[in-house]
Amino acid sequence: MKLFTYEHCPFCVRARMIFGLKNTPFELAIIMEGDVETPTRMVGRKVVPILQKEDGSFMPESMDIVHYVDSLKAPQVADQPVDSAIEAWCKSASGVVFKLAVPRFTEGEFAELATQPARQAFRQREEKAFGDLSALLAETPALIRDVEQKLAELETLLPADKTVSTTDFILFPILRSLTIVKGLHYGPRVNEYLHRVAAAAQIDLLTAQAR
């Protein structure tokens, strides 16, 4: 199987997680930012991640990929409903999380941004969604205060059970995105969760290029 992704993308992280958690071999391929033709040829639109299955067919949508790969080998890890409290937290926190992360993504060292045209295409796309990215960077202190309040709330929501579940495919990619932000404080439970799931899923955090 071959997984087409971006390195920075939280939805792509979901798809990568299931391969690591199930120790399922796969080939990782990067689609360059600004490349519309490649994903459109595969699935009819510009989207990532995309899984090329063993029979050569293509599958988009991160959670569809998760459930497909999960079904190939027992035991399943993503067969239960998402924790409603954590799902609600993710929805409430994602706005401020990505106001912090996205401007840093556009400056990051990611394979999909390896050329200047690709980086420029990405920045233009994100500016359409988020507005002036330089202005967002200038708001970093206030945004950090807001996101640290949300992280404090998450401390009380994380379950004592450390078994990986469907919920982790929703929560972990958001927290992984935050690791590109320098100087952010995580509570002990969130910090333990972040590193535990990263290790289990064989996913790199972004702390090495935090800014």
Note the pLDDT tens digit of each residue in 129-188. Answer: 999 999 999 999 999 999 999 999 999 999 988 999 999 999 999 999 999 999 999 999
Q: What is d(CA 105, CA 127) in angstroms, rounded to the nearest whole number? A: 12
Q: What pLDDT is recorded for position 93?
A: 98
Closest to 22 (Cα-Cα) out of 78, 82, 61: 78
Element (H, E) at 2: strand 2-5
Confirm if 24 and 73 have CB atoms less than 8 A apart.
Answer: yes
- What does the domain layout of the chain look like in residue ranges? 2-71, 84-209
Per-residue pLDDT reduced to its tens digit, 16-72 = 999 999 999 999 999 999 999 999 999 999 999 999 999 999 999 999 999 999 999
Q: What pLDDT is recorded for position 86?
A: 98
Confirm if 159 and 83 have CB atoms less than 8 A apart.
Answer: yes
Q: What pLDDT is recorded for position 60?
A: 98
Q: What pLDDT is recorded for position 127?
A: 97
Superfamily of domain 2-71: Glutaredoxin (3.40.30.10)
Closest to 48 (Cα-Cα) out of 73, 23, 14, 21: 14
Confirm if 9 and 3 have CB atoms less than 8 A apart.
Answer: no
| Average pLDDT of every residue of the chain | 97
Burial class (CB in 10 A: 0-12, 13-18, 19+), 73: exposed
Confirm if 168 and 159 have CB atoms less than 8 A apart.
Answer: no
So what CATH class is 84-209? mainly alpha
Instruction: Report pTM.
Output: 0.96
Q: What pLDDT is recorded for position 52?
A: 98
Q: What pLDDT is recorded for position 67?
A: 98
Q: What is d(CA 61, CA 95) in angstroms, rounded to the nearest whole number? A: 21
Element (H, E) at 146: helix 140-155
Q: What pLDDT is recorded for position 63?
A: 98
